[in-house]
Structure 1
Amino acid sequence: MLTGCDNSGEHHFKDYHQRLANVLDTDPIPFHPLDSLPNFPSTRTLYVPEEDIRIGLLDAYELRRCGLFQLIADRNSSLGKVQDKTRQLRYELLLLNGLERCVTQTVPASDDNPISQPLIDELTPIKQKKQQQLRSVIWNMLATGKEWRQQFVLYPHTFDIDNFAGLTANLAAMEDILTLLEYSQSQPDADNKPTHEITPKRIDEALANRLLIHQENIHRSRYFGQLYYSIANATQWINITTQLLNQQESTIICGEKRNQQQAEYLKNVFYRFYNPKIQSYLAELDSQYLQVKPVLQQVFNQLPTKHPDLLAYKEVFIDGNLHQAFRIAVLDHTKFWQRTFKRCQFKVGI
């Protein structure tokens, strides 16, 4: 009963392979575990240290005018000190916006009570350091935050044949992460002044708050890791199935006035098991990979760490080595059926 309820891609590939072997009266080719794939490196390996920059509360009144006092106080509270990585990043974004308001005097002020110049002088280098750290804070959320990290760790379960949950939520999240990474870049000009800094106009509170929404939307999925594993699994199953068919191709009898019963059975397996489900499953894997690849490439190209294990992971999964092998496998499988249909004079769709 449990086997009958299995709708995973793995189950359908296994069933397809076994049925072809039965028709060809041969043993199926063993499927070997996918144990050579690079995995997402450990949290300890990927974490990028961040300099601890403290902002005192001695200038409490003036910090209130920037909208910073309560923000910093909440961060230093007992709950604030155990914030998850997503809330830590949100804090950094809101802090940068508040610092911008402080150092540019873009806060309501009366003539007799402006923000003091000494406070501006104190906050300006803090803002610059926070700006420089932002890329590392973003990366540490992705690499070590539970809900984000689990999206990239290989998940050894294939998608169901007709259910690919996680694309929309994860793609939206990565697009916002990319926006933050682009805004985090700060290139100095000739006077060594940042020319691309975060301002309230560029990153507002709505974007910072969306991080929490993204975290909630993705926390039940393992999307990227499941997508990559599903592609690797499909590639191996298609390859060994094509190998099985190629090995037995010379035994498949076709031709005018010859008994083509075996070939007819093969055609039936193709139309009952490969064409309606597996072929569309392969097409959906391909489509989803192509949708996420450009965004993930742009995100990972801005990494603050170049650890060899991470580069190996990126090369195989994100840059496309695995996907290229997947497409070759599907093409080789398609070529077998094209040859067989032509040789046996089977009309497509019949």
Structure 2
Amino acid sequence: MRWLRLTFSTLLLSGCINSDPATDLVETYASRTANAIEQPFDLQLKKTAELYPTLPLRRERLAPIEPIREGLLELLDLRHCNLMQLVAERNTSLGRVATGSQRLIYELEFLPAAKACIRDLEKDPDRQEMVANLKSIVAIKSASLPNQIWNSIYTSPEMEQHFSLGELPLPPNMPGLITPITPTLERFAQISALTQQSNWQTPADITNLESHFEILYRSQFGAQWLASMALLTQTLEQTASAIELKLQGRPICFNKQQNNQSKILWNVFMNFYVNSLQPYIAQVEKEGRIWSELNLQIANRLPTTHRNWLDQLIDTDGKVWRQYLSARSRHTRAWQDILDQCGLRPGI
């Protein structure tokens, strides 16, 4: 008996862990629709990784950073420029193994300080060689800043996990999962906007940038959203196919006169689509647009040669959105056409 109780408890625990409310939702919807149209079909759901491009290796996503000649900064007399401590910190063992976020903080602090230093040194005719060297460094670093921002954000482990293709979908009836990371993405967008400005200052509270990466680390929204889009795209496509197949046969209603089957169809449409699946579609689409638009705000100001994978996953012309929007339109038309057979065509 004790063995049986343990086995039963294990099964219950396993069931809780593996529970996927979103998949349960779409399977119930598909099953009810199949019964209502008397066109049996079972959802054949592929894994997200079978549908969407996988994240390229980190080295393939890295944008090149032009190196500064070794020792050039150390040769400059920076005592009068308020740069010595910053450069010294960069050259410590911590600086050499700094994370992408720490390197970005350094660049965003160094460039405005170096430009201010140049303005001061230009007043001294004896320091013109130093001015020329410092200008060269600033020019190189300014040109590399978009790539540095790209690398710090889109090759970071914190952002990478949001493009994993192995997460469960977003749970239904839990809107707002995008909310905790929205300020982080907005902050990244503000930083990427600096590349379009000439005389910018170090952003306020830049030393707190790492806290935004921590917030990103504590969320799996992006990966969950991709799983939801894969789930919904397949559900809408396959349900539309079943309805279209039914439309090729005998109409449910003769001369649009409603009957018992049309009442069943209408009830399924209202209860399992309008009141059940559609709110989940709205949740996924609304929060997905926020996620996609904020990422585009960041990336559109940064290098284009390393972002094809990103466009496929977030751009409205990319694979994820394109397939979903096509499936949604097809599904809507199918329902309109079959309900129209009974004079029940809605404006969905």
How far off is 1:340 after superposition? 3.6
Residue 48 (structure 1) aligns with = 63
What corresponds to 2:45 in structure 1?
Answer: 31
TM-score with structure 1 setting the length: 0.78
Q: State the percentage of identical aligned residues.
A: 25
Aligned partner of 1:193 in structure 2 is none
Output the TM-score relative to the length of structure 2.
Answer: 0.79
Aligned to 1:83: 98
Which residues of 2 match residues 139-178 of structure 1 at below 5 A? Answer: 139-164=150-175, 166-178=177-189
Q: Gapped runs of 5+ residues in structure 2?
A: 1-11
CA distance in 1 between partners of 2:172 and 2:125 (Å): 64
Judge which range, 274-283 or 243-252, deviates more. Answer: 243-252
Q: CA deviation at 1:237?
A: 0.8
SS of the residue aligned with 1:104? helix
TM-fit CA distance, 1:279? 0.5
- Aligned AA (1:137): Q
Question: How far apart, CA to CA, are the structure 1 residues paired with 2:345 and 2:103?
Answer: 61
After superposition, residues 1-350 of structure 1 pair within 5 angstroms as 2=15, 6=19, 8-23=21-36, 24=38, 26-34=40-48, 35-53=50-68, 54-57=71-74, 62-63=78-79, 65-105=80-120, 116-164=127-175, 166-185=177-196, 197=198, 199=199, 202-206=200-204, 208-249=206-247, 250=249, 253-255=252-254, 260-304=259-303, 306-307=305-306, 310-311=307-308, 313-315=310-312, 317-321=314-318, 322-346=320-344
Q: Distance in 2 between matches of 1:313 and 1:125?
A: 33
Deviation at 1:147?
A: 0.9
How far 1:290 sits from its partner (Å)? Answer: 3.4
Q: Is the 8 A contact 1:99 1:123 kept in 2?
A: yes
Deviation at 1:115, TM superposition (A): 9.6
Q: Alpha-carbon deviations, 1:104-148, whole Å to 9, x = none?
A: 129xxxx9x999444333322111111111111111112311112
Counterparts of 1:166 and 1:80, CA distance in 2: 35
Q: Which has the larger displacement, 238-247 or 169-178?
A: 169-178
Confirm or deny: 8 A CA contact 2:256 2:340 kept in the other structure: no
Q: Could you tell me how far apart the structure 1 residues matched to 2:224 and 2:256 are?
A: 49
Please give the alpha-carbon distance, in whole angstroms, between the structure 1 residues aligned to 2:177 and 2:41: 37
**RMSD value, Cα:** 3.5
Deviation at 1:89, TM superposition (A): 0.4
Contact map agreement 1:154 1:225 (CA 8 A) in 2: yes
Amino acid at match of 1:264: K
Q: 1:301 to 1:348 in 2, by over 3 A?
A: closer
Structure 2 vs 1, CA of residues 296 and 205 (structure 1 numbering), >3 Å: closer, same or farther?
Answer: closer
List gaps (5 residues or longer) in structure 1.
186-195
Structure 2 distance, partners of 1:238, 1:214, is 36
Moved more, 2-11 or 154-163: 2-11
Inter-partner Cα distance in structure 2 for 1:240 and 1:6:
23
